[in-house]
Structure 1
Amino acid sequence: DQGDFAGSEQEMIRTHLSGYPQAIDAGVLSIMASFSSWNGVKHSGNETILTDVLRGPLGFDGFVVSDWNAQGQLPGCSNESCALAFNAGIDMFMAPDSWKPLFASTLAQVKSGEIPMARLDEAVRRILRVKVKTGLFNDSRPVEGHLNELGSPAHRALAREAVRKSLVLLKNEGSVLPIRSGARVLVAGHADDIGQASGGWTLTWQGTGNSNADFPNGQSIWGGIREAVAAGGGQATLSPDGAFTQKPDVAIVVFGETPYAEFQGDVDTLDFLPTEPLETLKRLKAAGIPTVSVFLSGRPMWTNPEINASDAFVAAWLPGTEGGGIADVLVGDAAGKPRNDFTGTLSFSWPKTARGEPLNVGQPGYDPQFAYGYGLTYARTARVGALSEDSGVVGSGSNLDRYFVDGRFVAPWSLMLRDAGGEFRLGAEKSGASPRGGVSARATDGAGQESARALTFSQGGGQAIIAAQAVDLTRQSNGEMAIAFRYRVDARARGPVFLTLGAGSVDISSLINAAPVGEWRTLKVRLSCLRDRGADIAAVDQPWGLRANADFAVTVEDIRLASNEGDAVCPTQ
C-alpha cells in the first residue's frame, strides 16, 4: 500500500511477480491496481504494466479495477476526472463518493476523443465478459439473491474448521493443554469480543465500533469455551480482568491486536505494547493458576514477556465469528484427552526481537524465535523455556492513531496547556494549569475511574493540546479518517470553541452548544476537513486541541483517530 519499487523490470519480476501467473492461469477474472508505484509512477496510470504486461505475456483477459479514488493521485487528475487512468488500462473505477462527477467527466472525455471510443468499448466488453463467465446472465442458474447461503450451517462449519486447523501452538509446558472439559475454567481478556476476533475489513472499514449484537449468528471465543466446558460438566467463568473468588483449575487469557485495516495497522516495531494482558497473566501465575494465552493478531509479534508468563501460548490469528473452533482444540474431553489436535504451523517466522529482522528464510543472519513452519502438537511436544525479554528496540516510537486512552496519554503524546502567558506541559501529573490560568486540567471519572480529563477555560481563554514530535497523516486523510473524542459539557461556553489540529481549526461551537450539559457524546471531525482549514497533514505535531476564549468547562476522553463510518462531520464556520 503506497509503496514505491525502485529498480529495473527484471528486478521487479524477481521480487514481485510470483503468484500472478498462477492466479491468472487459474482463471482469475479481476485484478485491482494498487496505490503503489514503480520508480515513482503510480500503477493506476502505468500503461506498461496494466496493458503491455498484463494483457501481453501474462495473458489476463478479465477486467482491471482501480483502488479507492486512486485516480486522484495521478498527475493532472482528480478524484472526479482522469482520462489518464482509463487510457492506461483501468476498466472500472473504484469511486464510491466521486462516481457521479467522474461519470460525467469520463463521458465528456469520450465525446471529445480524449478517451478513444474503442477504449471505452474494450472496457465494457471486458466487464460484460466477466459477468457472463460468472453466470450473472444465466436464467437457468441464477447466482444472485440466495441470501439463505450467507452464514448457512455448511458455511459456518467450514469456517469453524478453518479456525481449528489454523491455530498454531507455540508453547505447552506441563501439558496444560488440552483442558479437561470438567474443569473449573476462568476466561479473561477479550474473549467475548467477536469484533476484535474478526479484525478490520469486516462490518466496518477498520473493524471498529462493532458489538457482538452486530454478529447475530456468530459465536465468540468465550461462547465456544463456555459451550465446550458445560458439555463436559465443568464450569466456565468470564472475568475480563482476571479477578476470581473461587480459584480456577486453569485460566485462558485472550488478548491481542485491536482491529485495523491497511495503514492504521502500520507499526514502527513488532513489539506488542499493551501491558494489561501481561499484568493479568502475571497475577494469575503468582496465584498458582496454570495460564493459557490465546493471542489474536494479523501477524506474528514480539510477545516474549507474555509467552514467559504463560504455560501455553496459542497464535490464533483472527478467528472471526467462529470462536468455537478454538474450543474444539483447547478443550478436551472429560478425561482430558484431545478432541482435535493442532495442525497449524507458522506461515511466517515469529520474531526473536521487536526489530523483526531478518525474518525471511534464507536471509543472512536468519535467527527467529520460532522458525517458519514451526508448530507443536499434542503428539509432537518440545520445551520452550524462558525467552529473552530484551525487545532490541529503544523507546516506544511513534503512535499515529491513539492519543488519550483509558486515562493515559499514549507515548509519545502528552498534554500541553497554553495561554497568553506561555505553556505548561503535563508529565506524570494528573492536573495542572497554563501559566495565567486560562485553561486547567484535572483527572476525573468517565467510562472508567480517572479515564477522563476535565478542562476548564476561564475569561481570556487558552488551549489544551495533545503534542509530540511530528508525524505524517497524509495517508490517513486520503482514507477519510477522523479525529474522534468523547466529551461531556460541564458548563456552557460563553464564547466560540474550536477543535484544532496543528494550525488548522474548525468552529465546533454549534455542536458544543447543542449538547445537553452533563451528557456524554462523541464527536468525529474528518481529517480532510482540518486539512482544508489549514492543518499541515504531512507534519502533525498537535493532532488534537480545544481552544476557547471565554468561560467553558468540558470533560474529554478516548481521543484517537477513527474511521469515518458515515458519522464524521465537517463543521461549517
Structure 2
Amino acid sequence: MISKYTKNIAALLAISLFCLIGCETPSSPTSETASSSAKDERVVELLKKMSVEDKVGQMTQITLSMLMKDNQLNIEELKNAIINKKVGSILNVNGVPLSLEEWHDLLTTIQDIATKETELQIPILYGIDAIHGTTYTKGSTLFPHNIGMGATRNPALVKASAKITAAETRASGIRWNFDPALGIARQPLWARYEEMYGEATVLSSVLGFEAIRGYEEDGLDQISAVASCMKHYLGYSVPLSGKDRTPAYIPDTQLREIFLPPFEAATLAGSSTVMINSGEINGIPVHGSKYYLTDILRGELGFEGLAVSDWEDIIRLHSRHRIAATPKEAVKIAVNAGVDMSMVPVDYSFFDLLVELVNDGEVPMSRIDEAVYRIVKLKFDLGLFENAYPEEEAIALFGKDAYKEVALNAALESITLLKNDDKTLPLKEGGKVLLMGPAANSKGALHGSWSYTWQGSDENQFPESTITIKQALENRIGAANVISNSTNDFEDPSNTDIAFLKQNAAKARVIILAIGEKSYAESPGGIHDLNLNDNQIMLAKAAYSTGKPVVLLLAQGRPRVISKIVDGADAIVNLYRPASQGAEATMQILYGDVNPSGVLPFSYPRYSGDVVLYDRKHTEEVTEFIPDSYGGGGYNPQWKFGHGLSYTTFTFGEIQLDKKSYTKSDEIKVTVEVSNTGDRAGKVAVDLFVSDLYASVTPSYKKLKKFTKISLEAGESKNVSFTLTADDLSFINAASEKTVEAGEFSVSVGDKKSNFELK
C-alpha cells in the first residue's frame, strides 16, 4: 500500500533558489500523486515508424570511452554506434572533465549524426553522474556530499544546490543527471556511504524529494532543469559484507518500512527516471526481478518513468549473479523484469542479443514498445526533438558568484562540532598553528567521489580557486604563522611524520590535525576495518604528548572509528566531504565567524564491531555480558544520531500536545519552545522522534519523523510546531502491510518526551 503523505510543505516548493540560511521548512514530502496520462501522440506516431532494431537501439546506452581513440572522438565508431546500432543514449566522460566549449563541441558532433544522418532523426539522450554538483565540467560548483547535506537538516539548501547543479549541467549541454542517491546509510563499511543522506529514512525521503524538485520543477524543457534519476532502487546501501555490489539480506518488513519510502517520495516528487540496484536482495538480483521492478515500482508506487540499469549490470546476471546460464538469457530476464535501458556500456552485446530475443518471440514487442515509449517520451519532454544541441543561452547560468555562496552555506551548516572541551573552539586570533595530517593539504579528501573525476583524487583537475585547509589557514592567519609539512599526496608519509611534529610543537599555540580518508568512489573505496589508519592514530597520540591543545578535523565519507584518540583531543570537528567551499567554511567555524549547526545524520560508532543504529529494537538496548544481568547501554555509539555542539547553548521546553488522546483520523499537533540560553546567535536542528510503545511487530526504540532548523538570537525563544498523522505512527506488519495499531505512543524532542494514546 502506498503511503499518503500529508500536504504540508506546499510553501516549500516556492522557496527561492537563494533561501539559504535560517529557512524553517517542514519535513514531509508532498506532491500531487503521479497519475497516468494519455499517451503522447508524438511518441506513438514515432514508434509506428521504428523497426525492431530502431527500438532496441533506443534501449542501448554506451559509455563515451568506447567511442574514443587516442583521446580523440572516433567519428567512424560514433557513426557505427548511432547509425548501425541505433544507440539511443551515451554517458560519462573519457576520464577527465571537459570545459563548456569541449562539452558543446562533443555533443554537437554527436547530435549532428543522430539528427542529420539517421532516417528517424532521434536525438541522443546524454547522461552524467552530477552527484554533488556538475561533476565532469571544468570550473563547476561542487557541494557537500549527501551525508553532509543530511547533517544540515536544511531541505532548502538541498533544493538550492540541486537547482544550481541542474543549471550548470544543462549549461554543459547535458540534460540527464543520475542523482539523487536514496539509499539509507546503515552500513558504514560501504564505500558509497557518503552519497547517502543518513541512517534515518525520513532524511532520504525529505531531502531526496527536495533534490528532485530542484532538478526538475522548472520544467524539463527549460534551460535550468535536468531529468533526475532516483537511485539505486532498491536496498543497495546495506550489503552484508560492506563491499560494493554484494548481497543484501533484508526482511520484507524492513524493506518496506526503511528502504522503500524514499522512492515513494521521489515518485511523488515527479522523478523522471530510476536507476536499478546492481546488487541482490535475499538472493534475487534487483535488476532481474519482476517483483521489484514491475509489481512494486510500477504497480504499488505508480512510477511511470524510464528505468535504466547501472554499469554492466545486465550481463552480470550471467557472469556474477549466475541466475542466467547465458548472456542472452540475462538480457531476456532483465528486460522482461522491467529494465527499459541497459547501461551496457562497452559493447553492443545487449543490442544484438535483444534483437534476437524479440525476433525469436522470447521478449514480447509489447515490452519493447513500453520501454521505448518511456525513453522517447523523456526525449520529447526534455525538448531534444525541438533542439537537440547545447543551448547557448544556458551558458549564462554557469559559474555565477552566488553559487559559491550556496556551497559555502551548505558546508557551514553541515560541519558538525563533536567535542569542544574547555571552549577550545573557537580559536583566538594570534600565535602560530602547527597543521598536520593527510587531509591538511588535500583537495580530494575534502571532496570525495565524483569530483571532476570518478575517484575525485586527481588534484590536478580541481579549479585553481579550490583551496585546501592549509591554504585556507594561511589565508586566515598568514603563511608565516602556519607550520606545516603537508603535501597533496594523501599517502605521503611526511603528512604523519611524528618527528616533524615534535620538532615544531613548541613553536605553536595549537595543533590542528586534519585526518580521515582519501577520496574514493565505489568499489575502490572498500575497506575491511572501520578503525582509522594506525599512522593517523599514532600522529594524534604524539600530538597529545606535547601538552598543546589539539583540534582534530575529520575529512571522511563515513564514520571511521577513532575511539583510541577521542579522549585526548580538546576539540573534534567532523567535516564530512564539504567540497568546493569546505576549506573556507572550516576556517569560519574554527575561528568563530560562524556558529556550527550541523548534527550527525548517523550514529557514530565507538567500536568497529558494534554498529547499532538510532532506531534500534528494545532488545538491542540490553547488554547481558553477565548471564541474567539485563543492563542497558546496548546503544553505545561514540556520538549519538543527531549529536552536534554549538558555541551557544539551547534548551527545549516541555512538549505541548493539543490533546492526550487521538483517533486515527486526527492530526496530532506537537509544539515545543526552543530557547537560545547562550551569549551568541546560532542555528539549531530540531528533530522530532516517535516511539510506538507496544506493537504486534517489535517496535523500534524511536524513529525520526520530522525535523527542521531554526535561527535564534542570544536569549531568544521560538515555538516550533509539527503535525503528525496516522501515517507517522504506522509500521509494516508481519503480513508486509502498512498498518496503524491503537495504543500508547510517545514523542520526543531534545531531552523532552510526552506520551499520548491512539484509539
**TM class by smaller structure:** 0.5 to 0.7
Q: Is the 8 A contact 1:171 1:311 kept in 2?
A: yes
Counterpart secondary structure, 2:609: coil
Q: CA deviation at 1:270?
A: 2.4
Q: 1:353 aligns with which of 593, 596, 607?
A: 607
Corresponding residue for 2:448? 199
Tell me which amino acid in the other structure corresponds to 1:344. Answer: G
Separation in structure 2 between the aligned mates of residue 136 and residue 313 of structure 1, nearest angstrom:
50
Matches within 5 A, 1:147-166: 149-166=397-414
Helix, strand or coil at the partner of 2:299: coil
Task: Tell me how far 1:70 sits from its aligned partner.
Answer: 0.9
Picking from 118, 130, 150, the partner of 2:366 is: 118
Q: Say whether the 8 Å CA contact 2:450–2:456 is kept in structure 1.
A: yes
User: Which one of the candidate residues 621, 641, 657 is aligned to 1:372?
Assistant: 641
Q: Is the Cα–Cα contact under 8 Å of residues 160 and 324 in structure 1 kept in the other structure?
A: no
> Please, which moves more after superposition, 18-27 or 46-55?
46-55
Whole-Å separation in 2 of the counterparts to 1:276 and 1:10: 42
Equivalent residue, structure 2, for 1:170: 418
Moved more, 134-143 or 236-245: 134-143
Q: Do the aligned residues in 1 keep the contact of 2:434 with 2:511 (CA within 8 Å)?
A: yes
Partner Cα separation in structure 2 for residue 8 and residue 288 of structure 1: 51
Q: CA RMSD in A?
A: 3.0
Q: How do 1:221-240 and structure 2 match up within 5 A?
A: 221-230=469-478, 235-240=481-486
Higher strand share: 1
Residue 84 (structure 1) aligned with residue 333 (structure 2): yes
- Post-superposition shift, 1:141? 12
Of residues 558, 580, 583 in structure 2, which corresponds to 1:321? 580
Q: Distance in 2 between matches of 1:168 and 1:339?
A: 15
Give me the identity figure in percent: 30
The CA distance in 1 between the partners of 2:418 and 2:376, in whole Å, is: 48
Match runs of 1:37-436 below 5 Å: 37-74=280-317, 75-78=324-327, 82-98=331-347, 100-137=348-385, 146=394, 149-189=397-437, 190-208=439-457, 210-230=458-478, 235-240=481-486, 241=497, 243=501, 245=504, 247-272=507-532, 274-332=533-591, 338-363=592-617, 364=620, 365-380=634-649
Determine the structure 1 residue equivalent to 2:88.
Answer: none
Correspondence list, 1:495-510, <5 A: none
Q: What's the CA shift for 1:226?
A: 1.9
Report the CA distance between 1:8 and its aligned residue.
Answer: 6.4
- Tell me how far apart the structure 1 counterparts of residues 419 and 272 of structure 2 sit (CA, whole Å): 42
- 1:10 deviates by 4.9
Q: Tell me, which stretches of 5 or more residues in structure 2 are unaligned? A: 1-235, 237-244, 318-323, 487-496, 621-633, 652-759
The answer to whether residue 279 in structure 2 is matched with residue 31 in structure 1 is no
Give the TM-score taking structure 2 as reference length: 0.45
Q: Where does structure 1 lack aligned partners over 5 or more consecutive residues?
A: 333-337, 383-573
Distance 1:162 1:108, change over 3 A: same
Q: Identify if the C-alpha distance between structure 1 residues 309 and 85 changes in structure 2 by more than 3 Å, giving closer, same or farther.
A: same
Q: Secondary structure at the match of 1:54?
A: helix
Contact kept, 8 Å, 1:163 with 1:322, in 2: the verdict is: yes
**Deviations 1:540-564 (CA, angstroms, capped at 9, x unpaired):** xxxxxxxxxxxxxxxxxxxxxxxxx
Distance 2:596 2:544 in 1: 24
- The answer to which structure has the higher helix fraction is 2
Q: Identify if the C-alpha distance between structure 1 residues 6 and 320 changes in structure 2 by more than 3 Å, giving closer, same or farther.
A: closer
Q: Under a length normalisation based on structure 1, what TM-score does the superposition of the two structures give?
A: 0.59
Letter paired with 1:14: E
The CA deviation string for residues 330-353 of structure 1, in whole angstroms up to 9 with x for no partner, is 342xxxxx2100100111111122
Report the secondary structure of 1:322's partner residue.
helix
Aligned residues: 372
Contact kept, 8 Å, 2:603 with 2:612, in 1: the verdict is no
Instruction: Please give the alpha-carbon distance, in whole angstroms, between the structure 1 residues aligned to 2:601 and 2:379.
Output: 34
> Closer, same or farther in 2 for the Cα pair 1:79/1:111, shift >3 Å?
closer
Report if aligned partners of 1:164, 1:328 keep a CA contact under 8 Å in 2. no
Q: CA deviation at 1:377?
A: 0.8
Deviations, residues 170-215 of structure 1 (Å, cap 9, x unaligned): 111122211224332222112111112222333443344x125544
On the 8 A contact 1:225/1:331 being kept in 2, the answer is no
Q: Flag the structure with more relative contact order, 1 or 2, with Cα contacts below 8 A and sequence separation at least 6.
A: 2
After superposition, the C-alpha distances for 1:515-547 in whole angstroms (9 at most, x for unaligned) are xxxxxxxxxxxxxxxxxxxxxxxxxxxxxxxxx
* Residues 171, 303 of structure 1: alpha-carbon distance in 2 compared, 3 angstrom cutoff: same
User: 1:392 maps to what in 2?
Assistant: none
Aligned partners of 2:586 and 2:612: how far apart in 1?
Answer: 34
